[in-house]
Structures are given as C-alpha cells and as structure tokens.
Amino acid sequence: MLRTYFKSKIHRVKVTEAELDYIGSITIDKDLLEAADMMDGEKVQVLDLENGERLETYIIEGERGSGVICMNGPAAHKIHVGHTVIVITYAMMTAEEAKDFKPTVIFPNEHNKLD
C-alpha cells in the first residue's frame, strides 16, 4: 500500500510578486527548488502565515538567484506580496520506504536566499 508522506519544505519565504492575470501556480527561484528537492510542475501545498490560508497548486521554475516567490492566478487573491509562506511537497511511498526516507527542509534568509 502506498501512503502520502512529507517530502520537502521551503520554510518561511516572503512572497515577492502576485500575478492575478496568469493561469495559476507559484513561481519559485530555481536555487530554492534545487535545494529543497522540488521540480517544475510538481504539486505543492502553500501555507500563508499571515492569514492561515492553505492552498494547492503547482510549481513554475523561476529565475535562478532572483529570490522570486510569485503567486499566480487565483492564488494571488488569497496570498499577497509581503506575506510569509511555507511551501511543502509530499511523496507516495510504502511504509517500508518511508522508514529510511529523510525529508529535505531548507530555511532561506529574509531575502529568499540560501546563506
């Protein structure tokens, strides 16, 4: 049986942009994606620390080194520029696989960069 487990997390980044007139998703700096073991097109859960909003969307790879965290489309109504968010991915695996699996968690600085 497959179960869904926590895979990776970008902990506490600031939303730098919001593009309402876009088809949807969250754009994330490529440096952050690589460090957090996340990929373009991957499903994510975004948690807003300012208003408690939780939503699911998919990743669009942003420019490397830009620090971009951009809420696109309908998500821009719920999560705004300046808000602090946590971005989480999950993976399907067996309980046996999960025993040895170690999630990846990164802690960017206040400029959405890795120190």
- What is the rounded average pLDDT for all residues in the chain? 97
Check whether 24 has a pLDDT greater than 90: no
Q: What is the pLDDT of residues 75-102, one digit of tens each?
A: 999 999 999 999 999 999 999 999 999 9
Residues with a known catalytic role: 25, 58
pLDDT given for residue 72 in this prediction = 97
Evaluate if residue 113 carries a pLDDT over 90: yes
In angstroms, the CA 86 to CA 44 distance is 10
Contact by Cβ (8 Å): 41, 59: yes
Question: Given pLDDT bands bounded at 50, 70 and 90, which one contains residue 50?
Answer: very high
Return d(Cα 114, Cα 11) in angstroms, integer. 11
Q: What is the pTM of this model?
A: 0.96
> Could you state, in order of their start, the residue ranges of all structural domains in the chain?
3-106
Tell me which fold the domain 3-106 belongs to. Barwin-like endoglucanases (2.40.40)
**CA atoms of 45 and 109, how far apart (whole Å):** 20
C-beta neighbour count of 111 within 10 angstroms = 10
45's tokens: 């859960």
3-state helix, strand, coil in the chain (%, to 5): 15, 45, 40
3-state secondary structure labels for all residues of 85-103: EEEEEEEEECHHHHHHCCC
